[in-house]
Structure 1
Amino acid sequence: MDKLPKIALPVIFAFIVLVILISKSAVTIGSGEAGVLYKTFGGGVVTEEPPLGEGFHIVAPWNKVFVYEVRQQEVYETMKVLSSNGLDIQLEASTWFQPKYDELGKLHKEKSEMYKERILLPAIRSAARSVVGRYTPEQLYSSKRDAIQAEIYEETKKIVDGQYIQLNEILVRDVTLPTSIKEAIERKLKQEQESLEYEFRLVTAEKEAEKVRIEAQGKADANRILSASLNDKILQDKGIDATLELSKSPNAKVVVVGSGESGLPIILGNN
């Protein structure tokens, strides 16, 4: 019985040390995350092996694990840029991105956990300045929004593709012009719209007038052809045909007694 405390103390001490070692060695990677292993005595950041996936892991207590979010993320940026004629433009854009999973170790070793601030955001700003500088305020305000968005995405992608970052999309949410420029553009657009409406009315009226002229010309041509084809013989034949049809009517008694000066029959006795 006297020896029990002497045995228990080392056991208890060993148990405590084991618990400390396990707590120091246990790493849990959450959902949508991955871990980069740093080996203190084994060459530093592990880049040639896949990162640690979701779940529970045991690592040597003298090593470290750096946890990264690897699902799609969004960063919102407001930038001051210049148009092609040197006017200040405020551009608001959202960027969807995520680190490249298989190259997470290289990202950590070369760019660190600050890769968004050191790589992604500077790339977006540079691309936005380059793209917006090609356009006038009128183009930025109206027709070129989609083109600007696509060009900023392409230029940013060229920069970050070699930096272990996967760029999914860039969305231009708003383009803000100086108030005086915006009002001038709106007046110009309104005048252009009114001019287009006026031209449309003129074209419509001209088409309607042309239609009336064509119809009138058609009628005139028909009458001219008809008049040219009529002669006394044709008129006389038509008159005879009409008289014969009239004589067949049960409500009329027709007597033909020779012909008139025009050569047409004379009708007498109509009851």
Structure 2
Amino acid sequence: MEKLPKIGLPIIVAVVIIFVVLAKSAVTIDAGHAGVLYETLGNGVDSDKEPLGPGFHIIAPWNRVIDYETRQQEVPEAMSVLSSNGLDIKLDASVLYEPDVKNLGKLHNEKGENYLSRVLQPAVRSAARSVVGRYTPEQLYSSKRDAIQEEIFMETKKIVSSQYIQLNSILIRDVTLPPTIKEAIERKLKQEQESLEYEFRLVTAQKEAEKQRIEAQGKADANKILSASLTDKILQDKGIEATTKLAESSNSKVIVIGSGDSGLPVILGNQ
């Protein structure tokens, strides 16, 4: 009985050592993440190796894994840039990005874990300054906003695509101009809108007047043609025809007293 503890102690120590080794060797990577293996006794991160995907992994206890999120991420960017005429413009944007998973080892070796602040954010700011500097405050505030957003995205993408970063989108949420410039632009836009409304009303009135003129001309032409075609003979024939129909009506009483100027009878009375 006294020998059991002496026999069991090495076993317990061995179990503890194995447990510690396994604990340091076991790595679990969450969904939406990938791991870069750093070999302490080797050359660090091997850029050509595939990153460790989500799940359970066993590694040598002296190595370690650097975890990277591989899902699309968003970083807000508040930038102060100059317009084409030198006015200070503030842009509030959202940058949507993710690391290039296939080249995660290269990203780690060349840019490091802080690639966002080292590469992406400076690239966005540089592109924004370059693009906004080509436009006036009025274009930034109204008509060219979507085009400017697209240009900033394309210029930033050119910079970061070769640096193992996948840029998905840049969204301009807000453009803040100096108050006096903003008020001046709003007044101008309001005046332009009023001018467009006035021109619309003027064109509508002109079209209506032209329509009435054409209708009046048409009626005048019709009356002229009708007057030219109504001779005395035609009027007499029409009168006879109307008199005959009236005389044949069962609800009419015909009384002839002399004749009219055209030689037609004068008909009086009806029921």
TM-score by length of 2: 0.91
Change (3 A) 1:230 1:19: same
Is the aligned partner of 1:157 residue 2:157?
A: yes
State the match for 2:266 in structure 1.
267
Structure 1: any 5+ residue segments left out of the alignment? none
Residue equivalent to 2:106: 106
CA deviation after TM superposition for structure 1 residue 179, in Å: 0.4
Match for 1:196: what amino acid? L
The 2-side partners of 1:4 and 1:230 are apart by 142
CA distance in 1, matches of 2:124, 2:267: 105
How far has the Cα of 1:9 moved from its partner? Answer: 4.8
- Match of 2:181, SS state, is helix
Distance in 2 of aligned mates of 1:71 and 1:35: 13
Identity of aligned residues (%): 69
Q: Which residue is equivalent to 2:76? A: 76
In structure 1, the residue matched to 2:182 is 182
* Structure 1 residue identity aligned to 2:125: R
CA distance in 1, matches of 2:7, 2:207: 112
Note if contact 2:77-2:94 (Cα within 8 Å) is conserved in structure 1.
yes
Q: Contact 1:256/1:265 (CA < 8 Å) preserved in 2?
A: no
Output aligned runs, 1:101-140, within 5 Å: 101-140=101-140
> Aligned partners of 2:67, 2:225: CA distance in 1, in Å?
96
Residue 253 (str. 1) matches residue 254 (str. 2): yes
Q: For 2:162 and 2:234, how far apart are their aligned partners in 1?
A: 95
Q: 1:260 to 1:5 in 2, by over 3 A?
A: closer
Q: Would you identify which runs of 4 or more consecutive aligned residues in structure 1 move more than 6 Å?
A: none
**Partners of 2:269 and 2:4 in 1: CA distance:** 155
- Structure 1 residue 134, shift from structure 2 partner: 1.7
Confirm or deny: 8 A CA contact 2:260 2:266 kept in the other structure. no
- CA separation of 1:39 and 1:238: change in aligned 2, threshold 3 A: same
AA of the residue aligned to 2:37: L
Contact persistence 1:247–1:254 (CA under 8 A): no
Measure, in 1, the Cα distance between the counterparts of 2:90 and 2:261. 96
**Number of residue-to-residue matches in the alignment:** 269
SS in 1 for 2:187: helix
How far apart in 1 are the matches of 2:268 and 2:57? 126
* SS at structure 2 position matched to 1:267: coil
Equivalent-residue separation in structure 2 for 1:105 and 1:98 (angstroms): 14
Q: CA RMSD in A?
A: 2.1
Matched residue type, 2:83: S
- 1:1-271 matches, within 5 Å, as 7-250=7-250, 251-255=252-256, 261-262=261-262, 264-267=263-266
The alpha-carbon distance between structure 1 residues 238 and 71, as it changes in their structure 2 partners (threshold 3 A), is same
Deviation at 1:200, TM superposition (A): 1.4
Superposition deviation, residue 15 in structure 1: 3.5
Instruction: Say which SS state the counterpart of residue 238 (structure 2) adopts.
Output: helix
* One-letter code aligned to 1:220: A
Cα distance between partner residues in 1 of 2:114 and 2:144: 33
The unaligned stretches of length 5 or more in structure 2 are none
The answer (yes or no) to whether the contact 1:96–1:167 under 8 Å persists in 2 is: yes
